[in-house]
Amino acid sequence: MEKLVRISSKGQVTIPKKIREVLGTDLIKFKIIEGKVIIEPVKDVGGIFKKYVKKSLSFEEEREHAWEKVANEYRDFSRH
């Protein structure tokens, strides 16, 4: 599969949907081998990439975490 895409002035490209579907992930790795840029999917994340892993929390869990964060920030602010 091939697709011609333009690099923006900010160095960004849009990966076509069919290629994203083949990759099967939203985290990729770039390699340069013999003057060619290779894009590889990253499915097993560890180390510095761990922060990019999407956590599968329910809406209720996300809301609870947000309220806890706000409560902690308020508590810290009110102590000063």
Query: Residue 56: its pLDDT value, please?
Result: 67
- Structural domain boundaries, residue 59: 17-78
Q: Does residue 34 form part of some domain?
A: yes
pLDDT 10s digits, 9-55: 999 999 999 998 988 888 888 999 999 999 998 876 666 666 666 66
Distance set, CA 56 to CA 46, 53, 60, 61 (Å): 17, 9, 12, 10
Q: Does residue 21 form part of some domain?
A: yes
Query: Residue 71: its pLDDT value, please?
Result: 86
Query: Residue 53: its pLDDT value, please?
Result: 64
pLDDT 10s digits, 46-78: 666 666 666 667 778 888 888 888 888 877 777
Q: Does residue 24 form part of some domain?
A: yes
Q: Does residue 7 form part of some domain?
A: no
Query: Residue 18: its pLDDT value, please?
Result: 92
